[in-house]
A and B are shown apart, each in its own frame.
Chain A
Amino acid sequence: DAKTTQPPSMDCAEGRAANLPCNHSTISGNEYVYWYRQIHSQGPQYIIHGLKNNETNEMASLIITEDRKSSTLILPHATLRDTAVYYCIALSGNTPLVFGKGTRLSVIA
């Protein structure tokens, strides 16, 4: 699986958009980009995933660059409850889900 690189931490003001970047320069053609988050000591929560096209759901938007070497998760209106560690993972087939260190997002009032 492709290695992903994320900044260790970010701050975001409440109500503003949170843009979380992820680099995956070695991603292969059949690998999807998945995003999960984990609020302190709770179970991880699936957010969104994509292959090539941008994706949007009720939680977030995922923007994938045309060369697929990086992506950005966008939380359009961050709230205090969005404070969590966000994980970007490149996956294909039946390979297991493995979380790296992720980005610790702090939403500030």
Chain B
Amino acid sequence: EAQVTQNPRYLITVTGKKLTVTCSQNMNHEYMSWYRQDPGLGLRQIYYSMNVEVTDKGDVPEGYKVSRKEKRNFPLILESPSPNQTSLYFCASSHLTSGRHHEQYFGPGTRLTVT
């Protein structure tokens, strides 16, 4: 089954404790992206990647890191989480072929709480 998986689905952590949220897709997609969703602010892009070893900042990259060492995986790293990073996080992927870039498959989400 074609899917994007994220782990963990739920995480409660404390300020400053490094964490990684994993994202994996099995569709051989070139494009992968991380979003956060907050009430009243909609979906905002954190980082994206057009292919292996190519990553770029989205609209809200501060406090986050990503890597794309393999095509299928795109982990999101919070080196020193803060309470303002409490949010619902989504990973997404898509092909980059003409006209299909925005046909994105989303993961189930990771609800992160930083206390």
Contacts and interface: CB of A to CB of B under 8 A. Distances in A.
Contacts of A45: 106
B45 A43 contact: no
Interface stretch (B69-77, B79-87, B97-105): B97-105
A86 interface: no
Contacts of B59: 96, 98
B48 A96 contact: yes
A46 B88 CA distance: 18
Interface in A10-63: 32, 34, 41-46, 49
A6 B31 CA distance: 28
Q: What is the interface of chain A mostly: helix, strand, loop, or mixed?
A: loop
A45, A49, A94, A101 interface centre (most CB from chain B within 10 Å): A94
Nearest to A96: B45
Range of interface residues on chain B?
A: 20 to 34
A22 B64 CA distance: 34
B44 interface: yes
A7 interface: no
B45 A97 contact: yes
A43 B103 contact: no
Contacts of B102: 32, 34, 46, 49, 89, 91, 97
Contacts of B45: 96-98
8 contacts: A34-B102, A44-B90, A45-B106, A46-B102, A46-B103, A94-B101, A96-B48, A97-B104
Interface of B: 4, 33, 35, 37, 42-45, 48, 58-59, 88, 90, 92, 99, 101-109, 111
